[in-house]
Amino acid sequence: MNISNNKILITGGATGIGFGLAERFVKEKNTVIICGRRESALNDAKGNLPALITKSCDLSDAGGREELYNWVKKEHSDLNVLINNAGIQQWMNISDDNFFQRAKEEITINIEAPVHLASLFQNLPSLEVIINVSSGLSFSPLSKVPVYCATKAFLHSFTLSLQHQLKPRNIEVIELIPPALNTDLGGLGIHDAYPPVSGFIDAVFDQLKQGKTIIAYGTSERMLNAGPQQLQQAFSRMNPVE
Ligand SMILES: NC(=O)c1ccc[n+]([C@@H]2O[C@H](COP(=O)([O-])OP(=O)(O)OC[C@H]3O[C@@H](n4cnc5c(N)ncnc54)[C@H](OP(=O)(O)O)[C@@H]3O)[C@@H](O)[C@H]2O)c1
C-alpha cells in the first residue's frame, strides 16, 4: 500500500498498537479516524494528536458496527483503508463458572467484529486496503488465554482467504502479527514486561514500504516461520507443566 495520502479508520485506535499506528500514519501525511468505546481514551488520543478524527463505537454489537459503517459512508465516503485492530484478551480457564460468557465476548470482538466490518467496508467504492491485526499467539497458543489465541488463529486464516478473494478487485489485504508488547491488553500491568510498541511500529512501516502483506516482528516473526517441531517446543516453553 502507499503509506501516504490515505483516509484510514483504525478500530481501537485510541490506545496501544492502534494509537502507535495512528501516530505514524498521521506523521506520514494520512487522514486518520480512530474509534473505540471509551470517550475518555478517544479524548486523550485527540489531546495528544489533534489531527485525529474520533468516533465512539461499540463493536460488540452488530448494530454498532453497522452504525459505524453508515457514518463512514455518509461523512467519509473517500475512506480507503480499514484497520481491524480492536481486540480483547481474557485470562480464563474452562472450569471457571463464567467461562462460556467470557469466551463469547472474546469471540464477538476478536472474530465477529473484523469479519462483519470487512464484509461491510468492502462495499465502500473507495476501499483499497484492509489490515487485520492478529498475533504471534495465532501459531502457538498460551493456554492461560485459550480463547484469545484461537480467535487470532481464526483471524490469521480468514485474512489469507480474504487476500485471495479480494485480489481480483484490487483490494489489498494485509496482516499485522504483533509479538507481545507493552500495552494495556488484558488489563493494567499484564503486558508491562514486554517491549514498547514503537519498535513494532517501525518494523510495520519498513515492511509496508517493501510491499509486504504479512508483517511480523521479533518473536512473532519466529513463530510465523517456525516448523512443526519448533512450534511444539514453543508450546512446551510457554505452557510449562505445573
Ligand atoms: N499488546 C500485545 O502484546 C499484542 C500482541 C499481539 C496482538 N495484539 C493485538 O493488537 C490489537 C490492539 O491491542 P493493544 O495491545 O493495543 O491493546 P489495547 O490498548 O487494549 O487496545 C485495544 C483497543 O480495542 C478497543 N476495543 C476493545 N473492545 C472494543 C469494542 N467492543 N468496541 C470498540 N473498540 C473496542 C479498546 O478501546 P475501548 O476499550 O475504549 O473500547 C482499545 O483501544 C488487539 O487486536 C490485540 O489482540 C496485541
CB of 112 sitting under 6 A from ligand 1: no
Question: What's the pLDDT at 92?
Answer: 97
Ligand 1 centroid to 229 CA: how many Å? 31
Q: What's the rounded mean pLDDT across residues 61-65?
A: 98
- Distance (Å, rounded) from C-alpha 74 to C-alpha 85? 22
Domains of the chain as residue ranges with CATH: 7-238 (3.40.50.720)
Kindly indicate the confidence band of residue 242, based on its pLDDT and cuts at 50, 70 and 90.
confident
Closest alpha carbon to 184 in 18, 53, 23: 18
Question: Residue 6 has which C-alpha cell?
Answer: 490515505
Ligand 1 centroid to 242 CA: how many Å? 30
- For residue range 168-217, what is the model confidence (pLDDT) as tens digits? 999 999 999 999 999 999 999 999 999 999 999 999 999 999 999 999 99
- The catalytic residue positions are 148
- For residue range 70-116, what is the model confidence (pLDDT) as tens digits? 999 999 999 999 999 999 999 999 999 999 999 999 999 999 999 99
CB of 185 sitting under 6 A from ligand 1: yes
- For residue range 117-136, what is the model confidence (pLDDT) as tens digits? 999 999 999 999 999 999 99
- Distance (Å, rounded) from C-alpha 24 to C-alpha 204? 10
CB of 181 sitting under 6 A from ligand 1: yes
Backbone angle region of 189, left / alpha / beta, with phi > 0 → left and psi within -120 to 50 → alpha: left
